[in-house]
Amino acid sequence: MSLKAGIVGLPNVGKSTLFNSITKKNILAANYPFATIEPNVGVVTVPDERLNFLNDLYCPKSLVPTIVEFFDIAGLVKGASKGEGLGNKFLSHIREVDAIVEVVRCFEDGNVIHVENNVDPVRDIEIIDVELILADLEIVENRLGKIEKKVTMSKDKEGLKEVAVLKKVKEGLINNEPSRRLSLSDDELKILKPFNLLTLKPIIYVANISEDDLLEQSNKYVEIVKEYAIKDSAEVIVICAKVESELVDLDEDEKKVFLTDLGVCESGLDKLIKSTYKLLGLETFFTAGSDEVRAWTFKTGMKAPACAGIIHTDFEKGFIKAEIMSYDDLKELGTDKSVKENGKMRLEGKDYLMKDGDICYFRFNKS
């Protein structure tokens, strides 16, 4: 299980520079629109300090972290929903991702062209919102046109439920409300899932600032973005894409010194990757031993058998018990043996809800 996040934004806001830093890939980052035409895909590991401890403790033959896939998607302009710029490509690519990472330009630089000629983060966000809203509205109206009259006449219960939720979404879109801001029940979300609505995808805003503003830890545009993000209950990650690109070639010790000199304790990219990983309610459990220490991604609320099935379907089918200790207990007590002696090792059954940081050994019937 992995998360696919699409990095989006207007041209020249720092998307490709950010992507280069995330994936350490040398894709084209040029000072003109549409430098990225096809979505570049990079797989990155989720920073997790717990893996370092487990690696030192077990000295395994292999160490496998969890991952996030980032898609760098071509820049958007006004009229994308009608095919302007690379609009149709943009909209098709963004439908494939689970979450949206929207890079917003929050820096002044006369040498970097802004497609709208001046810096205005709210305007830039709203340009993208409008295009996504128009694209979703077309899908909703097309579906209503096909089924509304038929289900109204037939009184089909399931069809009527679909029409009701589509009308609810349509009204919101007409009023410039992305679907993620609507109060939708679990049943309504289930009905909407096949439509893969763009405005229903969870979002993180990335405020891209200058190096000077990073040093001063002050930027008027960031505060504007944070205020706007409240509408979406969205997190705002502040980064300097230029600085992050300089961190790429440094080793961990050099990186720590660099960040300390800047007055920050963690890179913007590490914060972004962690936040993106958690955006969809994803957590981590571990398997650990001398052969392999591995982090596994699971959805919050999953039970032990389903998590066992992430490793192998046979583990879920033949699930008997899960032998579990928490990472915190292991770190405090130092060894598996100490965890057992202190009564902190547990046997859990089929109804056990997995927790972030669980270290598991699954017992299953092999027949």
**Could you list the pLDDT tens digit for every one of the 367 residues in the chain?**
667 888 888 888 888 888 888 776 444 444 444 344 455 777 888 889 999 999 999 999 999 998 888 888 765 656 555 555 444 555 666 788 889 999 999 988 776 666 667 889 999 999 888 888 988 999 999 999 999 999 988 888 999 999 999 999 999 999 999 999 999 999 999 999 999 999 999 999 999 998 888 877 778 999 999 999 999 999 999 999 888 888 877 887 888 888 888 878 888 888 888 888 888 889 999 999 999 999 999 999 999 999 999 999 999 999 999 999 999 999 999 999 999 999 999 999 999 999 999 999 999 987 6
Contacts with 218 (C-beta within 8 Å, 6 or more apart), sequence order: none
Kindly state the tokens that stand for 141: 């109206």
- 359: closest CA among 287, 268, 282? 287
Contact 109, 210 (CB under 8 A): yes
- Alpha helices (runs of H) in the chain, residue ranges in sequence order: 15-23, 49-58, 87-94, 121-154, 157-174, 186-192, 211-216, 220-229, 241-247, 252-262, 268-279, 304-311, 313-317, 327-333, 336-341
Q: What is the pLDDT of residue 30?
A: 44
Contact 192, 169 (CB under 8 A): yes
Helix (H) / strand (E) element for 294: namely: strand 292-299
Q: How far apart are CA 107 and CA 325, in angstroms?
A: 47
Q: How many residues does the chain have?
A: 367
Residue 45 pairs in a beta bridge with: 67
3-state DSSP of 100-168:
EEEEEECCCCCCCCCCCCCCCHHHHHHHHHHHHHHHHHHHHHHHHHHHHHHHHHHCCHHHHHHHHHHHH
What pTM was computed for the model? 0.82
Q: What is the pLDDT of residue 213?
A: 87
Order across the sheet with 319-326: list the strands: 62-64, 292-299, 282-288, 358-364, 319-326, 346-348
- 190 half-sphere exposure, CB direction, 13 A CA radius: 5
* CA distances, 86 to each of 11, 103, 121 (Å): 11, 18, 21
Digit-coded pLDDT (tens) for 270-312: 888 888 888 888 999 999 999 999 999 999 999 999 999 999 9
Contacts with 95 (C-beta within 8 Å, 6 or more apart), sequence order: 196, 198
Residue 131 pairs in a beta bridge with: none
Start-to-end Cα distance in the chain? 26
Contact 170, 140 (CB under 8 A): yes
Q: How far apart are CA 322 and CA 208, in angstroms?
A: 44
Q: What is the pLDDT of residue 341?
A: 95
Q: What is the pLDDT of residue 9?
A: 86
* Amino acid (1-letter code) at residue 102: E
Neighbours of 303 (CB within 10 A): 18
Location of structure tokens 């993106």: 276
